[in-house]
């Protein structure tokens, strides 16, 4: 029988028995406290739990870029460490935190690993054989695609100068060895979240931060991609009237705030349709989808939505008057420039309309027999390259030997009769060939400039163009390429635009002039008449010349008109522009223009338009 005794000594049992007794208690050991558990009862298959209605989760607010960056997973980390134990430690800690970590122990393989992994962060040792951490950081920062990737150093270096040196070349942070796992995970996660948030596109990109409207470049891009071939929808120009009076009453700052409020309100009215602010008081709404019957109502909605709203300006309430012009895309436009030009023309008509809303209408052609024959002759001339040009000298009143001419279109019909530019351009408009005719005249002018250049003769040519042509997509690029191919200096070419057309297509002309700045091509405003709108236009466009309206030179006996001409010349000179007096038919007119201050004269007194460029500028005396 075994003997039990109490002693402070360990009973005489083996170590293995002690281990087994500790790990495996005797059977039924727990019965001293409770009975055995009853056998488990499995639920029957047919038992179905009663349905419980679960309330839908509350709507979550839109995620901010920082939240989106935090939710995106997994984070990719490239660990650059030559010590295997340190590399294994960092890799295991980061992988355990749900990140995707990859170790590179050879510094020459780092850039290849960057290409493969596309890491969110690089965690590297500062001191390594071959390239050290500072040199690797320079390589990463020099790579355009990887330059924004955060770089965090693991180092036991106590030298602060060494740390500052690494920070200067682009490192983002230091972690001192040994680093605790929790600290490592926290530092890496916070850096990646901030980096992803910075790289993520901000909400509302392409929108004005105050009004919420589309930016102008974004709107023009949308129009360029949508207008060509569209069979529904419209472009609306919405103009706030009376801004000059509002500025005088409330001041510039208050007016700008008021117009911003109007833009925000217009965006609400437009709803699903894109809206953008074009200039100080003009907005553009691009409505995609509505058919032609729905457009008048939409125009009135835009007008009334602004007019019926009371805007706060300080302690006052102001209601704005809006005028709306629109172009129905169902009429067919080649590109966005043509649609915008049409809407701008409709806006001008809306200013004088009693209801303040006007639609653009394509001119209806009523060709009689003579017009039909001239149109037919124009088609044949375009097909055969038979358009002609005449040149009329433009002479400096103070003398000089600078050769410059205006290029005038000529068209010969089937009977041999030569038609002037006005008739030819009217026929071109009727058959929709204005752009083709304008381009052909430019080709003639560039060819003449090229021939004169080959003979070492300087020459400047003034070429009349339609703003509708200048606003066509690709026309500016074509002109620049044509000048470069011919080896012609852009400064020898002056594009001539009529004032009446320029007032309608001011925005399109500004776009064209911006493209021509690099080549030195200049702009001349023709048929200039002194007035508020025309004077404002002189300040808006990058002009080099103005050509006075013909009525000034033909009515020099009218004192009031002569005084108006003098005011026009003085105003142009204050803006640094050179003035051309045209249609000078007699010496008395030339003398009057000279005394009034014009810089150049042009007309039959100097020379009638001719087919050559042989006028003697050196010996010409006015």
Can you give the three-state secondary structure of 98-122, one letter per residue?
CCEEEEECCHHHHHHHHHHHCCCEE
Instruction: Give 335's contacts (C-beta < 8 A, 6+ positions apart).
Output: 224, 227, 228, 472, 473
Q: What are phi and psi for residue 6, nearest 5 degrees?
A: -100, 125
Q: What is the mean pLDDT of residues 66-70?
A: 56
Q: Is 456's pLDDT higher than 60?
A: yes
| Closest residue by Cα to residue 425 from 456, 382, 396 | 382
pLDDT of residue 267: 93
pLDDT of residue 70: 58
Burial category of 58 from C-beta neighbours within 10 Å (exposed 0-12, middle 13-18, buried 19 and up)? exposed
Asked if residues 309 and 265 have their Cβ atoms less than 8 Å apart, the reply is yes
Q: Is 28's pLDDT higher than 60?
A: no
The segment(s) of the chain belonging to CATH 3.30.70.270 are 216-359
Strand order in the sheet with 173-176: 100-104, 76-80, 121-125, 151-155, 173-176
SS (H, E, C) 410-444: EEECCCCCEECHHHHHHHHHHCCCHHHHHHHHHHH
Band of the pLDDT at 598, cuts 50, 70, 90?
very high
The angle at the Cα of 310, spanning 283 to 267, to the nearest 5 degrees, equals: 30
Helix axes 133-142, 110-117, angle to 10 degrees: 50
Please identify, in words, the CATH class of the domain defined by 216-359.
alpha beta
Band of the pLDDT at 416, cuts 50, 70, 90?
confident
pLDDT of residue 52: 37
Q: Is 523's pLDDT higher than 70?
A: yes
Q: Is 298's pLDDT higher than 90?
A: yes
Instruction: Give 137's contacts (C-beta < 8 A, 6+ positions apart).
Output: 151, 166, 169, 170, 171
pLDDT of residue 364: 56
The label of the residue with tokens 């040199």 reads 135
Alpha-carbon distance of 615 to 62, in angstroms, equals 73
Q: What is the mean pLDDT of residues 150-165?
A: 79
Using CA atoms, how far residue 421 sits from 184, 379, 388, 389, 609, in Å, is 80, 15, 10, 9, 12
pLDDT above 70 coverage of the chain, percent: 85
pLDDT of residue 506: 87
Please state the pTM of the whole predicted model: 0.45
pLDDT of residue 306: 93
Q: Is 53's pLDDT higher than 70?
A: no
Q: Which fold has domain 388-601?
A: TIM Barrel (3.20.20)
Higher pLDDT, 23 or 306: 306
| Torsion 268-269-270-271 (CA) sign | positive
| SS3 call for 451 | helix
Asked if residues 601 and 581 have their Cβ atoms less than 8 Å apart, the reply is yes
Q: Is 309's pLDDT higher than 90?
A: yes
pLDDT of residue 20: 47
Instruction: Give 529's contacts (C-beta < 8 A, 6+ positions apart).
Output: 499, 549, 551, 568
pLDDT tens for residues 473-502?
Answer: 889 999 999 999 999 999 999 999 999 989
Q: Is 125's pLDDT higher than 80?
A: yes
Average pLDDT, the chain: 83
Q: Is 520's pLDDT higher than 50?
A: yes
pLDDT of residue 328: 95
Band of the pLDDT at 7, cuts 50, 70, 90?
very low
pLDDT of residue 60: 45
Higher pLDDT, 371 or 227: 227
Helix axes 532-540, 559-574, angle to 10 degrees: 20
Q: What is the mean pLDDT of residues 436-454?
A: 93
Helix axes 181-199, 84-96, angle to 10 degrees: 70
The label of the residue with tokens 């410059």 reads 404
Which of 41-55, 71-85, 569-583 has the weakest average pLDDT?
41-55
Asked if residues 176 and 187 have their Cβ atoms less than 8 Å apart, the reply is no
Q: Is 59's pLDDT higher than 70?
A: no
Alpha-carbon distance of 80 to 531, in angstroms, equals 73
Band of the pLDDT at 268, cuts 50, 70, 90?
very high
Report how far apart the first and last C-alpha atoms of the chain are (Å, whole number).
Answer: 151
Q: What is the mean pLDDT of residues 106-129?
A: 89
pLDDT of residue 178: 84
Domain 65-199 is classified in which CATH homologous superfamily?
Response regulator (3.40.50.2300)
The segment(s) of the chain belonging to CATH 3.20.20.450 are 388-601
Which of 185-199, 346-360, 512-526 has the weakest average pLDDT?
185-199
Neighbour-count burial for 438-452, b at 16+ CB within 10 Å, e otherwise: bbbbbebbbebbeeb
Q: Where are the alpha helices (DSSP H) in 150-215?
A: 160-168, 181-199
Q: Is 463's pLDDT higher than 60?
A: yes
pLDDT above 90 coverage of the chain, percent: 40
Asked if residues 571 and 535 have their Cβ atoms less than 8 Å apart, the reply is yes
Q: Indicate the DSSP class of residue 214.
A: B
pLDDT of residue 62: 46
Band of the pLDDT at 350, cuts 50, 70, 90?
very high
Q: Is 356's pLDDT higher than 90?
A: yes
pLDDT tens for residues 570-594?
Answer: 999 999 999 999 988 888 888 888 8
pLDDT tens for residues 8-20?
Answer: 444 444 554 554 4
Helix axes 252-270, 243-250, angle to 10 degrees: 130
Band of the pLDDT at 77, cuts 50, 70, 90?
very high
Alpha-carbon distance of 604 to 112, in angstroms, equals 76
Q: Name the β-bridge partners of 461.
A: 405, 493
Residue 28 falls in which region: left (phi positive, over 0), alpha (psi -120 to 50) or beta: left
Q: What is the mean pLDDT of residues 77-102?
A: 91
In the chain, the largest separation of any two C-alpha atoms, in whole Å, equals 155
| SS3 call for 276 | strand
The segment(s) of the chain belonging to CATH 3.40.50.2300 are 65-199
Task: For 314-433, list the strands marked E by DSSP.
Answer: 316-319, 322-328, 357-359, 388-393, 395-396, 404-412, 418-419
Q: Is 87's pLDDT higher than 60?
A: yes
CA 64 to chain CA mean position, Å: 26
Q: Is 67's pLDDT higher than 70?
A: no
Using CA atoms, how far residue 32 sits from 21, 25, 26, 35, in Å, is 18, 13, 12, 8
CA 157 to chain CA mean position, Å: 50
Which of 4-13, 80-89, 553-562 has the weakest average pLDDT?
4-13
The angle at the Cα of 215, spanning 213 to 219, to the nearest 5 degrees, equals: 95
pLDDT of residue 233: 93
Q: What is the mean pLDDT of residues 173-192?
A: 87
pLDDT tens for residues 218-253?
Answer: 898 899 888 888 889 999 999 999 998 999 999 888
Band of the pLDDT at 544, cuts 50, 70, 90?
very high
Asked if residues 113 and 126 have their Cβ atoms less than 8 Å apart, the reply is no
Q: Is 41's pLDDT higher than 70?
A: no
């Amino acid at each position: 029988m075994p003997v039990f005794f109490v002693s402070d000594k360990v009973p005489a049992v083996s170590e293995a028995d002690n281990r087994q007794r500790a790990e495996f208690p005797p059977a039924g050991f727990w019965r001293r406290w409770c009975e055995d558990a009853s056998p488990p009862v499995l639920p029957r298959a047919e038992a179905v739990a009663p349905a419980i209605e679960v309330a839908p989760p509350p709507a979550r607010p839109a995620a901010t870029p920082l939240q989106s960056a935090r939710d995106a997973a997994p984070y990719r980390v490239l660990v650059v460490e030559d010590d295997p134990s340190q590399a294994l430690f960092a890799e295991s800690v980061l992988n355990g935190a749900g990140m995707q970590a990859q170790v590179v122990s050879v510094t020459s393989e780092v850039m290849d690993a960057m290409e493969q992994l596309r890491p969110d962060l690089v965690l590297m040792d500062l001191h390594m054989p071959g390239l050290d951490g500072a040199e690797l950081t320079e390589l990463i920062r020099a790579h355009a695609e990887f330059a924004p990737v955060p770089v965090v150093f693991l180092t036991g270096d106590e030298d602060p100068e060494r740390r500052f040196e690494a920070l200067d070349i682009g490192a983002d942070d230091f972690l001192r060895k040994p680093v605790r796992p929790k600290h490592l995970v926290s530092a890496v996660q916070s850096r990646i979240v901030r980096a992803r948030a910075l790289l993520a596109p901000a909400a509302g990109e392409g929108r004005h931060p105050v009004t919420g409207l589309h930016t102008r470049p974004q709107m023009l891009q949308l129009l360029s991609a949508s207008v060509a071939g569209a069979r529904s929808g419209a472009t609306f120009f919405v103009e706030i009237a009376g801004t000059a009076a509002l500025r005088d009453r409330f001041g510039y700052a208050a007016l700008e705030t008021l117009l911003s409020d109007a833009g925000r309100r217009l965006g609400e009215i437009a709803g699903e349709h894109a809206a953008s602010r074009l200039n100080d008081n003009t907005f553009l709404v691009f409505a995609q989808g509505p058919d032609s019957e729905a457009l008048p109502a939409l125009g009135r909605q835009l007008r009334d939505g602004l007019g019926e709203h009371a805007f706060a300006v300080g302690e006052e309430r102001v209601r704005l008057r809006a005028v709306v012009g629109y172009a129905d895309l169902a009429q067919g436009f080649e590109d966005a420039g043509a649609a915008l030009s049409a809407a701008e023309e409709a806006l001008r008509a809306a200013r004088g309309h009693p209801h303040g809303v006007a639609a653009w209408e394509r001119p209806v052609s009523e060709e009689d027999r003579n017009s039909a024959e001239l149109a037919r002759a124009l088609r044949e001339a375009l097909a055969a390259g038979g358009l002609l040009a005449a040149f009329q000298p433009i002479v400096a009143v103070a003398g000089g030997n600078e050769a410059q001419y205006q290029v005038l279109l000529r068209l010969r019909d089937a009977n041999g009769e030569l038609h002037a530019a006005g008739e030819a351009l009217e026929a071109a408009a009727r058959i929709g060939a204005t752009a083709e005719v304008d381009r052909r005249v430019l080709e003639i002018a560039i060819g003449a400039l090229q021939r004169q250049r080959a003979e070492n003769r300087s020459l400047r040519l003034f070429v009349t163009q339609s703003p509708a042509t200048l606003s066509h997509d690709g026309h500016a690029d074509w002109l620049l390429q044509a000048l470069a191919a011919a080896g012609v200096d852009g400064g020898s070419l002056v594009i001539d635009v009529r004032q009446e057309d320029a007032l309608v297509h001011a925005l399109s002309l500004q776009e064209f002039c911006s493209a021509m700045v690099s080549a030195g091509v200049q702009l001349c405003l023709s048929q200039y008449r002194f007035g508020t709108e025309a004077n404002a236009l002189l300040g808006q466009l990058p002009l080099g010349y103005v050509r006075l309206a013909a009525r000034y030179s033909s009515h020099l006996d009218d004192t009031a008109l002569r005084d108006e001409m003098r005011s026009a010349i003085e105003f142009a000179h204050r803006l640094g522009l050179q003035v051309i007096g045209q249609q000078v038919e007699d010496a008395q007119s030339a003398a009057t223009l000279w005394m009034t201050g014009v810089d150049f004269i042009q007309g039959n007194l100097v020379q009638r338009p001719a087919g050559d460029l042989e006028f003697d500028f050196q010996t010409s005396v006015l």
